[in-house]
Amino acid sequence: MNLYLKVKTGWSSKDSIVFHKLQAMTISLHIYGNWNTLKYQLNIQKIFYNELEIQAQEILRKLLKKKKIIKTYILN
């Protein structure tokens, strides 16, 4: 069974960037197994990996833009 969760409240630090990111996402929770031995899979790693990838791309974009500005300044 798959459930799709949304974080609404219950986080201790409401100013956390992580909290705001989680609120904006739908999280997939996979529940499986026998009733006596239920297991679950929560793929948080994939969620945070995607977010880190986006942040890394933004940092690189800013760095390259800054480097281009510095090169232009030095050549002129």
Verify that 4 and 17 share a domain, yes or no. yes
Verify that 57 and 75 share a domain, yes or no. yes
Query: From the centroid of its chain, how far is CA 49?
Result: 6
Tens-level pLDDT at each residue, the chain (76 residues): 888 888 777 766 656 777 777 788 888 889 999 999 999 988 777 777 877 888 888 898 888 888 777 666 665 5
Verify that 56 and 76 share a domain, yes or no. yes
Verify that 59 and 75 share a domain, yes or no. yes
Verify that 1 and 38 share a domain, yes or no. yes
Of the candidates 27, 29, 39, 62, the one whose C-alpha atom is nearest the C-alpha of residue 19 is 27
Q: What's the domain count of the chain? A: 2
Verify that 25 and 60 share a domain, yes or no. no
Of the candidates 10, 15, 5, 17, the one whose C-alpha atom is nearest the C-alpha of residue 52 is 17
Q: Check if the beta carbon of residue 30 is closer than 8 Å to that of residue 40.
A: yes
Identify the domain containing residue 35 by its residue range.
1-42
